[in-house]
Structure 1
Amino acid sequence: MAEFQEGDSGERVRLTARVGGTVQAVGFRYWTVRQAEELGLTGSVRNNDDGSVGIVAEGPQTAVLEFRRWLRSPQAPGRVENVEEQISPDTGEFHNFGVVY
């Protein structure tokens, strides 16, 4: 797992995250899409069968850092208990940010 550097390297990265807690049926996916779009990120969000939410977000390192902060903040809907994450290079796979059903 790569570590974020707090400076703006200009690097594009991918955040793959599993968010646990009370994060389904609370508008979490909707607000995740909205936050990602505001930050100019691409990717997807989905409900997982185990009650968690899966997220893949790609974009400039600084925007992904801000998104990661938001996921753990009181502004995220529901009650986030834990975030498991992995950082990897941006793949360019996505053209927008949306919900996967």
Structure 2
Amino acid sequence: MQTWELLAHGVVQGVGFRWSVQMLAQKMHLPGSVRNNPDGTVTIVIQGTPSDLVKFKAELPGAATYAQISRLDTKVLPDMEQMHSFHVLY
């Protein structure tokens, strides 16, 4: 089990992106969270097997109809407690 933090840049706020992220994560049975940042980016924290996380990251750009991800930074978060569901944070 790994935890990744993804930082999405581009047109990712005000276009239903967080809800699309949540739907994709729930479809893949991956726990985590998503939140808007003051600088216009969106932070996604997601847990799963490395192969599931690679698949999630690959499917993410196509999951949101109106979002336009220009860059997706990835950071592995070590020693995170296990999460059990996916939440949109405010």
Q: Say whether the fold is shared (TM-score over 0.5).
A: yes
Residue aligning to 1:36? 25
Q: Match of 2:64?
A: 76
Structure 2 regions of 5+ residues with no counterpart? none
SS at match of 1:64: helix
5+ residue gaps in structure 1? 1-11
Given that residues 16 and 64 in structure 2 are in contact (C-alpha distance below 8 angstroms), is that contact kept between their aligned partners in structure 1?
A: no
How many residues of Structure 1 are paired with residues of Structure 2 in the alignment?
89
Distance 1:67 1:58, change over 3 A: same
- Matched residue of 1:54: which SS? strand
Rg: which structure is higher? 1
Q: Structure 1 length as normaliser, TM-score? A: 0.79
> 2:81 matched to which residue of 1?
92
Q: TM-score, normalised by structure 2?
A: 0.88
State how 1:1-101 maps to structure 2 within 5 Å.
12-71=1-60, 73-77=61-65, 78-89=67-78, 91-101=80-90
Alignment identity in percent? 34
Give the conservation status (yes or no) of the 8 Å contact 1:14–1:89: yes
